[in-house]
C-alpha cells in the first residue's frame, strides 16, 4: 500500500562514462527491461527511473546518459550532460560506475572518468561501482579501485557484474546504509515511472542502434504519433516517426525497397509483443528534420524538459 512507512527509502543516481554498464545494471536490479542497451556508447539520452522494491526497502534508481564531449549537436550534448549531473545533485546517493575491463591501475584513472569526478558537485554520499568484475581478475579490480580512491573521496566501493548480478546484493546492502526511513512512493510491482510511449520509442531506437552502423543512429530520434489502448482490444496499434538529420540518412534508414526499415520494425514489434503480451501493429515513418538535435521544440517532445539546474 502506498504511503506505508519503510525502513529504507531514497533516490540513487547512476552516473559514469558511456558504456560503463549503467543501463544493464538498472535492468538487472529491477528485473525488467526499462532502459535500452546496445554496444554503442551513449545509447541512453534521458534520465530513466527504475524502482527497486523488496521487503522494507524501496530505492528509486535514475539511469543517466554517459557523460562525454561528443560533437553531436551542442544543445543535445549540453542537455544530456546536465541531465546526468543534475540527477546526482537531486539524489540521496550517487553511484559512480566504472568499466574496470577498460581501466588499468598502471595507467591511472581514465580521462572521461577524471572529467566527471572533477566536475561532480554532488554533496550526497558517492559509491564507486567497479563494474564488469566477471571480465577481470579480482586483484586488478582491487588495484583499480585503489587508484580511484586516491583521486576522489568515495564513501564506499563495490565490485559488481551488472550482466550476471555478481555483487549486486552486497551493493544494495551498502546503499541501504545511507538511506533513511520514509513512505513507500511506488507500488511494489511498479518497475519504472516512464509512460508507454517513452518505452516504445526507446525499443524502436534500440533496434535502430543494432541495425545501423557507425554514427547514423546518433542522428535519429523517435516520436510516437499514435498509441491505442491495448487492454481493451488486446492489440496495440502504434504509429511512430523516425526523424533523421539529413536527406541522405533517410534512404539509409529505409534501405533498398524498404528492407532496413522493415527489419527495424519487425524486431521492435516482436519485442513489444513480449513486453505487452498482446499483438502489436507497428507502422514506422521516416522524416527529415534537419539538425533536430539543436532544436529545442523537438528535444522537448522526446523528453528533454530541461529539468536541471543551470
The alpha-helical segments, DSSP class H, found in the chain are 22-30, 74-90, 111-119, 138-151, 168-176, 196-211, 230-233, 247-254, 259-276, 296-301
| pLDDT given for residue 108 in this prediction | 79
Q: Which residue has the cell 537531486?
A: 90
| pLDDT given for residue 43 in this prediction | 57
Place 230 in a pLDDT band, splitting at 50, 70 and 90. low
What domains appear along the chain, each with residue ranges and CATH number?
5-183 (3.40.50.300), 196-301 (3.30.300.20)
Burial class (CB in 10 A: 0-12, 13-18, 19+), 137: exposed
Q: Which residue has the higher pLDDT, 309 or 153?
A: 153
For residue 183, how many other CB atoms are within 10 A of its CB?
A: 11
| Contact by Cβ (8 Å): 263, 209 | no
User: Which of the residue ranges 133-137, 166-170, 185-189 has the most confident prediction, judged by mean pLDDT?
Assistant: 166-170
| Contact by Cβ (8 Å): 202, 65 | no
| pLDDT given for residue 9 in this prediction | 96
72 vs 94: CA distance, rounded Å: 27
Q: What is the mean pLDDT of residues 213-220?
A: 72
pLDDT, one tens digit per residue, over 195-214 is 888 889 989 988 998 888 76
| Contact by Cβ (8 Å): 241, 225 | yes
192 vs 250: CA distance, rounded Å: 33
Q: How many CA atoms lie within 13 A of 51 on its CB side?
A: 14
235 vs 218: CA distance, rounded Å: 31
Show the 3-state SS of 267-307: HHHHHHHHHHCCEEEEEEEEEECCCHHHCHHHHHHCCCCCC
| pLDDT given for residue 217 in this prediction | 67
Q: Which residue has the cell 556508447?
A: 41
If we measure between CA atoms, which residue out of 278, 276, 203, 290 comes closest to residue 240? Answer: 203
Amino acid at each position: 500500500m502506498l504511503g506505508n512507512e519503510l525502513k529504507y527509502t531514497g533516490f540513487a543516481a547512476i552516473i559514469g562514462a558511456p558504456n560503463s554498464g549503467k543501463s544493464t545494471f538498472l535492468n538487472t536490479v529491477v528485473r525488467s527491461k526499462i532502459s535500452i542497451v546496445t554496444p554503442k556508447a551513449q545509447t541512453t539520452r534521458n534520465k530513466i527511473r527504475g524502482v527497486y522494491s523488496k521487503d522494507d526497502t524501496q530505492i528509486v534508481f535514475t539511469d543517466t546518459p554517459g557523460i562525454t564531449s561528443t560533437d553531436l549537436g551542442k544543445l543535445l550534448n549540453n542537455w544530456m550532460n546536465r541531465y546526468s549531473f543534475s540527477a546526482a545533485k537531486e539524489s540521496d546517493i550517487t553511484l559512480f560506475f566504472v568499466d574496470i575491463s577498460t581501466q588499468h591501475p598502471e595507467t591511472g584513472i581514465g580521462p572521461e572518468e577524471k572529467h566527471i569526478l572533477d566536475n561532480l558537485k554532488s554533496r550526497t554520499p558517492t559509491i564507486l561501482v567497479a563494474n564488469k568484475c566477471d571480465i577481470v581478475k579480482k586483484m586488478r579490480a582491487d588495484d583499480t579501485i585503489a587508484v580511484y580512491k586516491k583521486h576522489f573521496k568515495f564513501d564506499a566501493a563495490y565490485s559488481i557484474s551488472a550482466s550476471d548480478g555478481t555483487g549486486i546484493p552486497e551493493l544494495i546492502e551498502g546503499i541501504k546504509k545511507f538511506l533513511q526511513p520514509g513512505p513507500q512512493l511506488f507500488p511494489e510491482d511498479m518497475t519504472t515511472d516512464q509512460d508507454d510511449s517513452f518505452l516504445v520509442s526507446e525499443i524502436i531506437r534500440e533496434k535502430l542502434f543494432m541495425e545501423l552502423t557507425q554514427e547514423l543512429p546518433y542522428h535519429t530520434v523517435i516520436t510516437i504519433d499514435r498509441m491505442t489502448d491495448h487492454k481493451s482490444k488486446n492489440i496495440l496499434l502504434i504509429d511512430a516517426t523516425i526523424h533523421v538529420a539529413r536527406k541522405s540518412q533517410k534512404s539509409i534508414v529505409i534501405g533498398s525497397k524498404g528492407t532496413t526499415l522493415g527489419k527495424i520494425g519487425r524486431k521492435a514489434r516482436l519485442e513489444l509483443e513480449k513486453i505487452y503480451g498482446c499483438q502489436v501493429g507497428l507502422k514506422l515513418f521516416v522524416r527529415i528534420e534537419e539538425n533536430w538535435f539543436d532544436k529545442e521544440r523537438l528535444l522537448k517532445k522526446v523528453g528533454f524538459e530541461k529539468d536541471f539546474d543551470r
